[in-house]
Structure 1
Amino acid sequence: ATCADWELAGGYTTVDGERIKDDGLLESFDVDIAEAQELVMTARLMLGWVTEEQIAEDAATKEGDGTGSENHEESGA
């Protein structure tokens, strides 16, 4: 529940202008980003950290503005 989706599925980080592959904890099981998002949000829901309504609102907001976390990208220092 405390993991980010990209920590499970894998992603990329930019460090000093270079793109670095981050291995996901479940990457060897072919878990894609959508499955990882579902795992994380289901765990958070089961723990009571979020509600169904909050998940629906977040999904509607992302759908409306075209954002999402398909690719993890972060600038390193």
Structure 2
Amino acid sequence: MTRDKAMEIMKDEEMKHFNWYDDHDIKPNEVGIRERANKWNVYTSDERANPISEKEFQSESEALENFIKRLRAINKFNNNYK
């Protein structure tokens, strides 16, 4: 997956609750992706805005696939409890 494809999915599915490459400080209950030293990390944050269940990837494509998978899950959960 590419960044453009991930952005297209996020827009088409009207996704919220994400941190796209550290574009803001970590907020509670969001999914984030970041790049550091040619490795990509995907995480989910808890209610105190602490990154949890962080996973490191060697390729950006794999990281983006995991990011979208997690983001779909958190958005589905949040939409069910509005």
TM-score by length of 2: 0.28
* Higher helix proportion (structure 1 or 2): 1
Which protein has greater RCO, CA pairs closer than 8 Å, 6+ apart?
1
TM-score w.r.t. length of structure 1: 0.29
Bigger Rg, which one: 1
Q: Greater share of strand residues, 1 or 2?
A: 2
